[in-house]
């Protein structure tokens, strides 16, 4: 009889442990969803159209790039916008076309042109 009671008690302990584990997974899932929602609210969506002038971020690692050197290159002209953020650019100086990720671009506003 003592063995039956201890076996039953052990089963209850294992069941409680399983419930606590499932609660921890659920809490973790809720936390991740909330964190993702907060992060996604801060992301700025960039929409480019053909003909826009953009600047390209120089993402290459450089040793001591200089204190006042800019990390932006360009301006380039957008020729085509593909799905999932890929953008085709045209370098008007050299006439070459290449594809880049849209996250590395920002719109270029020429200050010499009148509005």
Calpha distance 79→74 (Å, rounded): 14
Q: What is the pTM of this model?
A: 0.58
- Residue-wise pLDDT tens digits, 71-101: 888 899 999 999 888 999 999 889 999 999 9
Q: Please name the helix (run of DSSP H) or strand (run of DSSP E) that holds residue 26, with its range, or none.
A: helix 2-42
DSSP conformation class of 53? E
Using pLDDT thresholds of 50, 70 and 90, give the confidence band for residue 12. very high
């Amino acid at each position: 009889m003592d063995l039956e009671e201890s076996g039953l008690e052990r089963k209850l302990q294992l069941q409680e442990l399983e419930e606590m584990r499932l609660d921890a997974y659920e809490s973790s899932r809720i936390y991740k969803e909330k964190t993702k929602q907060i992060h996604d609210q801060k992301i700025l969506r960039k929409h480019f159209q053909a003909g826009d002038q953009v600047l390209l971020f120089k993402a290459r690692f450089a040793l001591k790039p200089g204190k006042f050197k800019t990390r932006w290159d360009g301006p380039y002209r957008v020729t085509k916008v593909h799905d999932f953020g890929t953008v085709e650019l045209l370098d008007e100086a050299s006439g070459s076309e290449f594809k880049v990720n849209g996250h590395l671009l920002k719109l270029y506003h020429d200050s010499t042109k009148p509005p």
